Amino acid sequence: MTTVPFTKGHGTQNDFVLVPDLDGTRPLTRDAVRLLADRRLGVGGDGVIRVVATVHAEEPDVRDQAAEAPWFMDYHNADGSAAEMCGNGSRVFAAYLRREGLVEDGAFRIATRGGVKAMTVAGEHYAVDLGPWRVVDPQGARERGFDSTVRSRGGIELPALRLNVGNPHTVVILPPEIDLEGVDLTEPPAVSPHPDRGTNVEFVRPIGPGHIAMRVYERGVGETRSCGTGAAAAALATRWWDAESDDNTDWAVDVPGGRVSVRAIPGGHVELAGPAVLVADGTITLPD
């Protein structure tokens, strides 16, 4: 049995367990991640973030980022699977680094499996450059207006757009006759064609210019109260479909856990901004 420290934090109620392993001597097993994320047997969270110096990362592609970003956000979904990165998690990770004095205030970079991400901090407001984004099948999307379909449990098949925002997303804009709150997300939505590595799925209700509401089913987790990269994908998909949308529009994205903001920035990148809160510290005993 091994006792490890942890910190619990959230970004718009998308919650995470952070485990410091600064010298890279305590990699987390899949079972350990599942226990930490379990809301009855462990601490509870949508994901687990191991805080480790980039030079000690297991993956060579991550270690190559060490010159730009000294700290690696080793992110895992609640089911134990590793993920490229997490938008809300990156803000919580940044808040932890800042509290622990591991970074200088203002602006710094973090390493992720999805590449280096630039963070900026103003008070308790955290913004992350998620990097370049793209529509997965732009030709198909232009020809038909969409490139895949999604069916939620008990729902009808709806057109969708697949985007990559450092991780995969499939976005559905709901027609007026379907209530956002009525979408059943107790099971994974059926996506066709289904991406090889899975996908997060966003259901979106336009509210007004530059303003949408969203619910999300995250791969490896289920429905969560918020998803940062999902909010970015939802805003970008809405902009793609809306001929009257200004490319420079800043988007307010309402999620069950609060509100985040999204904006396209130069270089074909997209920025996500919002709060990050560290709520508790403790220790937990993990089986060897």
Query: Which residues are identified as catalytic?
Result: 86, 227
In the chain, alpha helices (H): 30-37, 60-63, 87-99, 138-144, 228-241
Judge contact between 130 and 165, C-beta under 8 A: yes
Burial class (CB in 10 A: 0-12, 13-18, 19+), 172: buried
Q: First CA to last CA across the chain, in angstroms?
A: 5
Q: What is the DSSP letter of 96?
A: H
Residue 115, C-beta contacts closer than 8 angstroms, at least 6 positions apart? 65, 131, 166
Bridge partners, residue 182, by sequence: none
Residue for token pair 């499939």: 170
Bridge partners, residue 137, by sequence: none
Bridge partners, residue 281, by sequence: 7
In angstroms, the CA 285 to CA 226 distance is 29
What value, to the nearest 5°, has the Cα angle with vertex 87 and ends 179 and 74? 135
In angstroms, the CA 185 to CA 109 distance is 34
